[in-house]
Structure 1
């Protein structure tokens, strides 16, 4: 039986279902303001360097407004795609809805004649998913020049490529405005309470918890209109509303205010809502505020992770304060295990909770109760994978965590590790949201993978975030290599994460390899659920859905060595 301390999952079926739902509509980040943006690329002539199949996946299918069609290139690293807007246009933003074969490296280029181009944007760390890129310049032709693939065996593909003109993307300063809606009484047209959403009541949109949500009920069918309202407790002057949508979002909706919860006045209206995070700078006066939806993005209803209202007046309740952001480099050591001790010494259980049992994700090992880990007398913890039958499995290994011993929020966490080489090995250093230990299921608690390496390719490491709208095979993260293309199994390497309220920066040997910025994630993937305590985990898995099963070449016994684990604030 799996220990209740830790369940590690990579539910690919769930991830594919989420990705499939996302693919049914085009999610684009838009920061709402009084001036509206306009899509100027739809239906315009598009060309590309290649297509995957002759007569299919055409360049024009990325500007047809249909998220069930896409452009896909031939399999090659150097590709391009461009659209002719027909006339010189002041471009404000580019929105790309990537298929799984996205670009990590690309540039956005502008041209007036289709031959001479200037660069408007460049990246080597593209995250895929739904990207929203603020640009500035005038162009008739907009080109994306693709240089580095996320999936090296394939080419590039996106469902839609949208060029926007007009609009204001920076909200005005709030001045003395504060959050007015936290923990206030809420009502809704309907709300869902079943195995799929239990409960998704209206108060969940105002609890300042981005991992809980309100959703309309499917009992009588998802219908329009659908609404959710909040009582601010007293008359308030509204200056800003922030909506963090679930994939079931409103394409047409209003923000309304009322003095009495009966007579409503609209202070904002749209018919081109596109989901994810909407920051609406709209002013109005009232005690009650309502999102009133009249057109849905899909066959489902309406759902919001958060509905935050800012302004003055009302009767605001102050949400729990977050810890102050660390100043990096952080220097105050708050947790460490240096693994110093005599050879054969077991894991220090004042710091670590042993986690015996079978693994998840198709793993083949049984995690023993500490029999597969000991100090080597040279300052290292040695975690050993063996070929032996225990607990109905043919292999044993080790897993441990700091659950119930040490949790923290924000800081620099690092470990110096030497990983094993061999088909099927899956060493990892990662974190789980501490509320998992009190009953919140994965992925709503949040998972932060600092280091994962597959034994079949010890030249590549992975860092990934998992949350309700991005998890499993659709997690938010990236892969990278050590300096000089070093084999990570030949020596110790240091993996680290610097985490604060703005995001998480990942490092390998003190070189930043990836940045998960909170604002970017909210605007391109979904709610950010990482502003609460987490605990640490180390494990060496054997086999699994991702690394694949062991084979005749897999060496046993094999070892994962840990020099130290440290947390600074």
Structure 2
């Protein structure tokens, strides 16, 4: 739910009106198995570790929103992924790190695959290595011993056994050799490049990419970047270097690329920024986050690009140099990761008080005005929010005119009252039902309040529900490299297919420096791994304070229009909001 956007990026981000404009896939619900289905769960080898549980997962297709890809790795044998009714199909899981895979367990629904392969890949794209193949699959529970290595594991089916698609209750990947990503750097190395002087072949600083100067690659801020100038710098070669302040022993370089990355480049060092020695070279740069281990000595470190990946120039969100020596400036300290389950309550509002009371002004900032995304409501200054006297906050949408809008509603936040970095953030909410209604519980980066435009401040959507379908919800992240309709997130069915408007449900995000786990009623629905995001989507911009937001929007591009069936007044009820660390 972005506010007004400011120019900051050569490709202006899509507005939130584009967010997840997903057509609901039609399909016939498979009912081939009744309640008497018995799943035999073979015991796991004690040497194996289940690697795939609640990991990011994608699929070639889904039969409908009731059978998402995530259901195949959620550990719940009552939920499943089901594909479209055609061949071939595939389902792949990102383990987050490179692993030695020793076993794959397939728990098929009646719609199983006769012919399929199990494959691994280091990147999830390009070449895949087959570690198991069969043309005589029998369905049921298949416990397959395999030998392979990779970060991504997929099942690729080529022949269905029924007229339906293929469907898995669970896709379990086991292994015993997880290797963590090569960050943080080995040997207790220090970040040497933070806030050090930088020089580049050219740089951009205009309305399309404001402040994209060389120093931005070394500011430890993943939402700012260096870019070569479109006027003189979209050519080869292009380069940027940093002065470490003194001779250093360099052990690792980390590049977080913008989509304008180098296909061919060298990492070079120099004692004087005049004579350069190449310590790493590639002609197959993949962009996103690249971690390079080197053994080198020098004061200056340069990325020297010789072949661009596309028609644009070169651009880096971050260029980090690790090692010993130099003249390092310590970056600002970050808070420690909480230990989950987090139990220290640092913020709460239980919304107790007399009926008709207003939200606590010591906790909440009222946010009047119009929404974005072609929404229809005007957010009033408290008129549409009150306590019900039974322990809940009521946010009420009404069909009434205000400030040129045909509907009123309410939005409030903890901006400048309470900001948080890391912890468990949860709310117990009962959402309204009706076409065009859009309740949400979410967070915005606190630097939005001091002028950083959306989405560079970051947005964490813990819960969004569309009133037209209260049997599903959304949890999504928005950042400069993935936002609007391209946000990084998950649409998921409600637990057990219940109507979310019929009762209260607890939405929560457990957030630390490694990622964010989203849950509903204690069940994991989406895991956003920092390592996965950085290597597949772009920079992770969520390691700084955020504030909390509650609102109920009416109409607009994402929830669609209201109609004669939409009830007014409609009420979003909030039993409590709590934050633990």
Identify the TM-score tier after normalising by the shorter chain: 0.7 to 0.9
Cα offset, 1:220, TM superposition = 2.4
Q: Name the counterpart of 2:124.
A: 95
Structure 1 contact 460–480 (Cα < 8 Å) conserved: yes
Provide the alpha-carbon RMSD of the alignment: 3.4
How many residues get paired? Answer: 467
Q: In structure 2, what is the equivalent of residue 567 of structure 1? A: 579
Task: Check 1:301–1:169 CA distance in 2 against 1; reply closer, same or farther (3 A cut).
Answer: farther
Separation in 1, partners of 2:483, 2:324: 37
**Alignment partner, residue 283 of structure 1:** 295
Residues 397-453 of structure 1, C-alpha deviation per residue, up to 9 Å, x if partnerless? Answer: 000000011101111110000000000000000000000000000000000000000
**TM-aligned CA deviation for residue 79 of structure 1:** 3.8
Q: Quick one: distance in 1 between partners of 2:254 and 2:495?
A: 41
| Residue in structure 1 matching 2:540, options 504, 515, 528 | 528
Q: Could you tell me which residue of structure 1 aligns to residue 348 of structure 2?
A: 336
Following the alignment from structure 2 to structure 1, what is the Cα–Cα distance between the partners of residues 373 and 210?
25
Match of 2:471 in 1: 459
1:557 to 553, 569, 572: 569
1:43-54 map, 5 Å:
none
SS, match of residue 435 in structure 1: helix
Report the CA distance between 1:91 and its aligned residue.
Answer: 6.3
Is 2:131 aligned against 1:110? yes
Any idea what the Cα deviations from partners look like across 1:145-165, whole Å, max 9, x if unmatched?
Answer: 499xxxxxx99xxxxxxxxxx
Is 1:171–2:192 an aligned residue pair? no
Deviates more, 1:390-399 or 1:219-228: 219-228
Structure 2: which 5+ runs fail to align?
19-59, 62-82, 92-118, 160-164, 167-178
Matched residue, 1:38:
none
Counterpart contact for 2:265–2:282, Cα < 8 Å: yes
Q: Give the 3-state SS of the residue equivalent to 2:274 in structure 1.
A: coil
**Partner SS state of residue 457, structure 1:** coil
2:323 to 311, 336, 359: 311
The residue aligned with 1:362 is: 374
Structure 1 residue 331: Cα displacement: 1.0
Does structure 2 conserve the Cα–Cα contact (< 8 Å) formed by 1:367 and 1:397? yes
- Report if the CA contact (8 A) 1:240-1:280 is conserved: yes
- Aligned residue in 2 for 1:252: 264
Change (3 A) 1:389 1:277: same
- For residues 440 and 559 of structure 1, what CA distance do their matches in structure 2 show? 32
| Secondary structure of 1:195's aligned partner | coil
State how far apart, in whole Å, the 2-side matches of 1:113 and 1:477 are: 33
* 1:327-406 matched pairs, under 5 angstroms: 327-406=339-418
Structure 2 residue 303 is matched with structure 1 residue 274: no
Shift of 1:348: 1.0
Equivalent position of 2:509 in the other structure: 497
- Look up the match of 2:462: 450
Mark the CA change 1:330 to 1:532 in structure 2 (over 3 Å): closer, same or farther: same
Partner of 2:465, secondary structure, is strand
User: C-alpha distance in 1, partners of 2:12/2:216?
Assistant: 26
- Whether the 8 Å CA contact 2:2–2:454 is kept in 1: the answer is no
Provide the C-alpha distance between the structure 2 equivalents of 1:75 and 1:231, rounded to a whole number of angstroms.
Answer: 55
Residues 170, 399 of structure 1: alpha-carbon distance in 2 compared, 3 angstrom cutoff: closer
Could you tell me the TM-score, scaled by structure 2's length?
0.75
SS in 2 for 1:200: coil
Among candidates 252, 273, 284, match of residue 261 of structure 1: 273
2:492 to 463, 473, 480: 480
Say whether the 8 Å CA contact 2:270–2:299 is kept in structure 1: yes
Q: Measure the CA separation in 1 of the matches of 2:277 and 2:130.
A: 43
Match of 2:429, SS state, is: strand
Q: Which runs of 5+ in 1 are unaligned?
A: 20-48, 51-73, 83-89, 98-106, 123-131, 137-141, 148-153, 156-167
In the other structure, the counterpart of 1:134 is 151
Task: State the alpha-carbon separation in 2 of the partners of residues 94 and 444 from structure 1.
Answer: 26
Which 4+ residue blocks in structure 1 deviate beyond 6 angstroms? 8-13, 112-117, 119-122
The structural deviation recorded for 1:352 is 0.4
SS of the aligned residue for 1:286 comes to strand
| 1:110-154, Cα deviation, whole Å (9 max, x unpaired) | 3468778958699xxxxxxxxx95269xxxxx962499xxxxxx9
Q: Alpha carbons of 1:488 and 1:112: their partners in 2 closer, same or farther (altered >3 Å)?
A: closer
